[in-house]
Chain A
Amino acid sequence: DTEVTQTPKHLVMGMTNKKSLKCEQHMGHRAMYWYKQKAKKPPELMFVYSYEKLSINESVPSRFSPECPNSSLLNLHLHALQPEDSALYLCASSQDTGNVYYGYTFGSGTRLTVV
């Protein structure tokens, strides 16, 4: 299995809703990442997990809450989002944070719309 699987593919949520994005990989990778991509912009790093511990938080607002229950799973819990949070949310994994010769493997993303 050489894929990163993200669910759901599309999500529409109201500003008072609570929802979660899920990411799963079975490549034995020990680093996992959340990126946010707005239209016609590059992906921007949000969080890095290394060996199931949060190692980087790029000053992301607390309405985004990451969770890494085990080495294969990464969640992003969403609460009280704003319309400007609408974007493509990408999950990625790599062997570990130090080894990027083979790059990060990205999922197809969750297209989030906040109404």
Chain B
Amino acid sequence: DQQVKQNSPSLSVQEGRISILNCDYTNSMFDYFLWYKKYPAEGPTFLISISSIKDKNEDGRFTVFLNKSAKHLSLHIVPSQPGDSAVYFCAARSGGSNYKLTFGKGTLLTVNP
């Protein structure tokens, strides 16, 4: 049972435009959500996180929005740059005493010059 879902395997945008990456989850016990970027042959790189008690967190070009009622979060990248081309993973942390991160399958973002 996939608790973190990224339903778009790929996304293509023009340089300078906004990239919106989406993620849905099913487990109401998730208390933290994170976004990671991954280039081939490298480990995931942390981008931004959001607590389940917030609805927005912003860091430079990256903004994450959380809609708890819809169990949906999104990552906005503005403006998109060719160097942003990578696989983006959404991850959710289980709360309580059993802290673990569950990852979605990822979305391949391609930013065209």
List the interface of chain A (C-beta within 8 A of B): 4, 6, 40-45, 48, 56, 58, 90, 92, 97-98, 100-109, 111
Known pairs A45-B100, A104-B46. 12 more at Cβ < 8 A?
A: A6-B43, A42-B105, A43-B89, A44-B103, A58-B100, A97-B99, A100-B101, A101-B49, A103-B49, A106-B44, A107-B43, A109-B41
List residues of B (22-80) whose CB comes within 8 Å of A's CBs: 32, 34, 36, 41-47, 49, 51
Please give, as numbers and ranges, the residues of chain A lying within 8 Å of B47 by CB-CB distance. 103
The B interface is mostly helix, strand or loop, or mixed, namely strand
Q: Given A42-B89, A42-B106, is A104 in contact with B41 using a C-beta cutoff of 8 Å? A: no
CA of A51 to CA of B95, assembled, Å: 18
7 contacts between A and B (CB under 8 A): A45-B100, A48-B99, A48-B100, A92-B43, A102-B46, A104-B34, A108-B42
State how many angstroms separate the Cβ of B37 from the closest Cβ of chain A: 11
Residues on B facing A (Cβ under 8 Å): 4, 32, 34, 36, 41-47, 49, 51, 89, 93, 98-106
Given A42-B103, A48-B100, A56-B98, are A100 and B44 neighbors across the interface (CB < 8 Å)? Answer: no
Chain B residues near A40 (CB-CB < 8 A): 105
> What's the nearest-Cβ distance from chain A to residue B33, in Å?
10
Name the residue on B nearest A56 (C-beta). Answer: B100
A48 to B97, CA, bound (A): 12
The residue on B at minimum CB distance from A45 is B100
* Cα-based distance from A58 to B51 in the complex (angstroms): 24
CB distance from A22 to the nearest CB of B (A): 15
Is there an interface contact between B100 and A103, defined as CB atoms closer than 8 Å? no
A45 engages B44 (CB within 8 Å):
no
User: In angstroms, how far is the closest chain B Cβ from the Cβ of A34?
Assistant: 12
Contact A43 B103 (CB under 8 A): yes
Q: Which one of A42, A90, A102, A105 has the greatest number of beta carbons of chain B within 10 Å?
A: A42
